[in-house]
Amino acid sequence: MHYNKKTVEDIDVSGKKVLLRCDFNVPRDKYTGRITDPGRVIAALPTIRYLLDHGAAVIACSHLGRPKGVWKPELSMAPVGELLTKELGIPVKIARDVVGPSARMLADTLIPGEIMLLENLRFHPEEEANDPLFARELASMADIFVTDAFGCVHRAHASTAGVAEYLPSVSGMLLNTEIRYLGDILDKPQKPLTAILGGSKVSDKLGVISNLLEKADALLIGGGMAFTFIKAQGGRIGRSICESDQMDYAREMLAKAERLGVKIYLPTDTVAATELAPNVDSSVVPSDDIYEDLMGLDIGPETSKAFCDVIAASRTVVWNGPMGVFEYPAFAKGTLAVAKAIADTDCVSIVGGGDSASAVREFGLEDRFTHISTGGGASLEFLEGKDLPGIACLDDKE
């Protein structure tokens, strides 16, 4: 992947109409439709304000939820438009369609310093199909394409990659920040680099594990995915989650790490219980000797200390995936310990992935991390070293 892409600051946007792809896929209350976490909208504001302050007319667009090509009023972008109006302090014109007469009328009459919002892109099946005619219709309303939707750049959709065939295309400020921080991990990390991977499945992180082993000095593995590695080494894991079809892969990665001189740290103790429930009794047991009726639900205190010691000696830390089922207080201590250790260490600290980022925010530590990525699947694929179509399509700097 070539990371040296043009940004909004490299081009003249004055007097131009800008099609701005944002990630406004915000969580909402399923009964009231109220936006419960405005974080993704807030994250887009610097780019929007930059464009408006520099004389552009902004045509913002995004998807919301999974309407699967069907018009669903409950997934309308109208609440997002109302939130944008409140945050920007200026009216946001809301189109009643995407490329239809309402959108075109608003786009045709939009003047510099004004902003409009298209309806949900995924109301059209052509969006996810990256239909070239739909992409050209979107592009025809604007002079420049700017993308700030890092969470979507791993998808080759009409609004993330297709429109770049028809317009000069650059990154927004948020996307540029993502590229800079994640790119530095792959290209020029401050050493030692520690990678921390958690979550439930090894299969979600196959390419990431292999690629990071070639960059990192240490790899800490927690969460449910650790039990696949532990069982692959002959350990007893009781009823803990395990992907038996990935045990050969786990053995390959352990062998690769040994060959490259990278230390892989697996949990040595585990907080286990008979079931996943808020008030269930739990105990700390060896990670490789868990009774048949128990399941591992968090890393134990011995493991937490070992992980924190490695983190404290690091200059760069990248973290993706919680250490346990942190949504339950009884199984949140491992994730909290790791989060605090990173926050207390003088290092470049990057969190990628929805669950680990949510944990950092829930613990009130977000201001003590260098960067919290806005992309889940996108950050994983970036760290795999994959070419992401929504970044590859952007214009290169000279």
pLDDT band at 356 (very low <50, low <70, confident <90, very high): confident
According to the model, what pLDDT value does residue 109 have? 97
> What is the arrangement of strands in the sheet containing 269-273, beginning at the earlier edge strand?
282-286, 269-273, 295-299
Domain ranges across the chain? 8-174, 181-384
According to the model, what pLDDT value does residue 297 have? 97
Alpha carbons 40 and 390: distance in angstroms, whole number: 18
Tell me the mean pLDDT in the region 52-57: 98
Cβ pair 296, 271 in contact under 8 A: yes
According to the model, what pLDDT value does residue 2 have? 64
Tell me the mean pLDDT in the region 201-218: 90
Alpha carbons 184 and 176: distance in angstroms, whole number: 12
Chain segment 282-293, per-residue pLDDT in tens: 999 999 999 999
Chain segment 191-205, per-residue pLDDT in tens: 999 999 998 888 888
Which among 5, 28, 40, 215 is annotated as catalytic? 40
Which among 55, 65, 100, 377 is annotated as catalytic? 377
pLDDT band at 353 (very low <50, low <70, confident <90, very high): low
Chain segment 141-160, per-residue pLDDT in tens: 999 999 999 989 999 999 99
* pLDDT greater than 80 at residue 393: yes
Chain segment 76-112, per-residue pLDDT in tens: 999 999 999 999 999 999 999 999 999 999 999 999 9
Q: What is the CA radius of gyration of the chain?
A: 23
According to the model, what pLDDT value does residue 206 have? 85
Q: What is the pTM of this model?
A: 0.88
Closest to 6 measured CA to CA, from 258, 179, 259? 179
377 is catalytic: yes
Which among 49, 201, 239, 368 is annotated as catalytic? 201
CATH top class, domain 8-174: alpha beta
Sign of CA dihedral 328, 329, 331, 336: positive
Please tell me if the domain spanning 8-174 has the same topology as the one spanning 181-384. yes
According to the model, what pLDDT value does residue 200 have? 85
Question: Which residue has tokens 């009409």?
Answer: 158
Which among 39, 183, 354, 385 is annotated as catalytic? 354
40 is catalytic: yes
Looking at the chain, the whole-number percentage of residues with pLDDT higher than 70 is: 99
- Superfamily grouping for domain 181-384: Phosphoglycerate kinase, N-terminal domain (3.40.50.1260)
pLDDT band at 1 (very low <50, low <70, confident <90, very high): low
pLDDT band at 17 (very low <50, low <70, confident <90, very high): very high
